Amino acid sequence: MLLVFRRHAARHRSRSLLLLLLFVSLSFIVFINILGLRHPVKENQSSAPPPAELMNPDSSGVELAIVLGKTKGENAEWAYDMFPEWTPFIYSVDNEPGYGLYVPNRGHEVMPYLTFIVDHYHKLPGIVAFMHGNNNQWHNEDISPNNDEVLHGLRLETVRRRGYVNLRCRTGPGCNPSSVLPHNPSDVDIERNDTRARFADIYATLFGLDDVKDVPPVIGGICCGQVVATRERILQRPLSDYERMRTWALSGSLPMNDYDVGWVFEKIWHVIFGEGPVSCISESKCLCDLYGKCGEPPTPREKVPVFHPVG
């Protein structure tokens, strides 16, 4: 009798455990579905082509513009939703059907940025935000993970006063305290034929310098290639400079790989747009001046891998 009772109790416990596991599994599935409905994920879905009025917008009379390049797998619909406050100029780098603007996929954001300037040099918008394709970007962590929210929070009066700003406020990587020493590459850089070992010559070519000795000894600027510049600041540099830079990125940089070309420009966007060789505003001042986050403690730091170019 005791043996029968123990067997019955064991079967009861097993059945109860199975029911509990089933309940937990169903609850988890329901939770995930609800979360998906509340926060639909679109970053890995290719966006639909832009509406007709945004296929190839006229920059004449535009005050605020967004310039970005997108691959086939990126979703740029967030930029459509910024219209009409911001007019987006969206360049497909994968020759996607339905897009009015196309550039070769070379140097990541380099070709869209420089092509827009070259093509619209004589009718530039008042303020141009040079952005990446997907809305979610890791390097906006102190402001918002989403590009549209970053632009909504940006103090345009600060942009107009300064002429140029980097949308990121954390100073690393890039400003700790510098990013590149063009005349003093490390032995490892030289041995590996790293881009840093050739940076002085590349810089001289891009900026049309006759003597490599005129290349600054130290270059430092906040990463990560999302910047805003005014019409006046862009026009401080002649059109021929932007044309030379674009030609180098497209063909003169060969056989450098795509990543290294983008890396080079990421280190010098601030110089291209009229800042000094080292442009490293403090994080607290950046957050206050650009986004009105004054006196707020910075968020906890996350370790972000810093990749060095090879090629």
Q: How confident is the model at residue 21 (pLDDT cuts 50, 70, 90)?
A: low
Lowest mean pLDDT among 148-162, 174-188, 210-224: 174-188
Whole-number Cα distances in Å, 190 to 4, 194, 240, 256, 260: 80, 6, 32, 15, 15
Provide the pLDDT for residue 298: 56
Q: Determine whether 200 is exposed, middle or buried from the number of CB atoms within 10 Å of its CB (0-12, 13-18, 19+).
A: buried
Provide the pLDDT for residue 139: 75
Provide the pLDDT for residue 14: 54
Average pLDDT rounded to a whole number, residues 274-288: 95
Q: How confident is the model at residue 295 (pLDDT cuts 50, 70, 90)?
A: confident
Provide the pLDDT for residue 22: 57
Could you report the per-residue pLDDT of 206-243, keeping only the tens digit for each? 999 999 999 999 999 999 999 999 999 999 999 999 99
Contacts of 42 (CB under 8 A, 6+ apart): 75, 77, 135
